[in-house]
Amino acid sequence: MRKIVLTAFILIIFCLIPFETLLASDNNQASNNKPCPCALYNRELSETTPQMEGEDVVELQYRLKQLGFYHGSCNGIYDKNTANAVRSFQKSRKQPVTGIVDQSTWAALGEGFERPANALPEKPQPEKPQGNVNILVDLEKLTLTVREGERPFKEYPIAAGKPSTPSPIGEWKIIEKDYDWGGAFGARWMGLNVPWGNYGIHGTNRPWSIGNPVSAGCIRMFNEDVVEVFEWVNVGTRVKIHAPLIWLAGSCGRTLKKGLCGQDVVYVQLLLKEAGFNPYYCDGWYGSLTEFAVRSYQLHTGLPVTGEVDEKTRLHLEEMAGLFEQDTPPVSAERSRLSHISLHQ
């Protein structure tokens, strides 16, 4: 009886709150003006003191090794051996032999790379998707699927975030579209409303990276693919980035409460949804709807009704979701992703 009364009371309180207020966190998510993490990959590489280092150097070394110009380790350091390999490549392509990797050299490195065939079987279909067009990104399969409602329309291979800079799992929407950023961003850009960073879906000047978890968190596509998808979606189109729930285990090390945002909030929202307490969108914002879902869960499971997710509530959610087998320690997001093949290997 007490649970019924408390549930009714909570429902009455939340019914008094305008629905627009409940969704304020979602509506207020906009471009945060932080640079896209892929901007770090959009630079000229050359011999410097101290030596240049980074994931863009790793991708360069990997491609040069594929082409037979580099025989060292892909250590991410632009050293003399890497510069000499670049010069040899430039000479073979009749480019100015500078040892500097500018946009023309990046473009030449991508020449001749064959795009894999479409993963979905070809069959007669309309020229473009109809109805409720949305996007599903599968980080485990490294695919992006344009859907009509729940029905797949067309599937594309992608590159996604590496373990140290993972792609944002959750339910997002496109908040901006732009043309021809060039360089590491490729032919098109579609920005997402991720509250803790500037992430998007874009093309690339490194087509050999497609099919690997190697980006700074954005979703990379072949330029011809991103151009096609760009024309089918609008600002407001929903984008779900999915991965096994276990990938996020270990991401929540703080008490979560209203007003916070982050990947750990998405993790809790997904756990709530798994337990049957739907917090609306798993959008990384701990807003009124998420607080309501937490209070309802705590009420129906006998936990203290605080509306906050402390360690006790989180562990209870994980147990209810069947996330871990008995006597099996949690697997951190970092460790679980490291089990996947990386471009760096």
Q: Which domains does the chain have, with CATH numbers?
A: 2-29+251-329 (1.10.101.10), 45-101 (1.10.101.10), 130-243 (2.40.440.10)
4-31, pLDDT tens digit by residue? Answer: 444 444 444 444 444 434 444 444 444 4
Contacts of 293 by beta carbon, 8 Å cutoff, 6+ apart: 269, 272, 277, 278, 279
Q: Before 50, cis peptide (omega within 30)?
A: yes
274-310, pLDDT tens digit by residue? Answer: 999 988 899 999 999 999 999 999 999 999 999 999 9
Contact 138, 201 (CB under 8 A): no
Please identify which of the residues 202, 252, 261, 316 carries the catalytic annotation.
Answer: 202
> Is 120's pLDDT higher than 70?
no
Q: pLDDT band at residue 127, thresholds of 50, 70 and 90?
A: confident
Amino acid, res. 75: N
- Known active-site residue 252: no
pTM: 0.81
Q: pLDDT band at residue 90, thresholds of 50, 70 and 90?
A: very high
Please identify which of the residues 38, 74, 218, 261 carries the catalytic annotation.
Answer: 218
How far, in Å, CA of 219 to CA of 139, rounded? Answer: 9
Helix axes 80-92, 55-66, angle to 10 degrees: 50
Contact 244, 140 (CB under 8 A): yes
Residue with the two structure tokens 């309180």: 13
Contact 226, 201 (CB under 8 A): yes
- Known active-site residue 36: no
Structure tokens at 97: 């032999």
Contact 167, 173 (CB under 8 A): no
Q: Which of 161, 216, 186 is nearest to 106 (CA)?
A: 186
35-78, pLDDT tens digit by residue? Answer: 566 766 778 999 999 999 998 999 999 999 999 999 999 999 99
168-182, 227-241, 271-285: which has the highest mean pLDDT? 227-241
Contacts of 174 by beta carbon, 8 Å cutoff, 6+ apart: 190, 191, 192, 233, 234, 235, 236, 237, 239
Structure tokens at 288: 């009124």
188-230, pLDDT tens digit by residue? Answer: 999 999 999 999 999 999 999 999 999 999 999 999 999 999 9
Contacts of 50 by beta carbon, 8 Å cutoff, 6+ apart: none
DSSP annotation string for 243-266: --GGGGTT---S-B-TT-BSHHHH
Q: CA dist 188 to 117, 202, 307, Å?
A: 21, 5, 41
The count of other CB atoms within 10 Å of the CB of residue 254 is: 12
Residue with the two structure tokens 């060292």: 72
Q: What is the mean pLDDT of residues 181-194?
A: 90
How far, in Å, CA of 184 to CA of 217, rounded? Answer: 13
Looking at beta carbons, which pairs linking 312-319 to residues 24 or more positions away fall under 8 Å? 314/252, 314/268, 314/271, 317/268, 317/271, 317/272, 317/274, 317/275, 318/249, 318/271
The mean pLDDT value of the chain amounts to 84
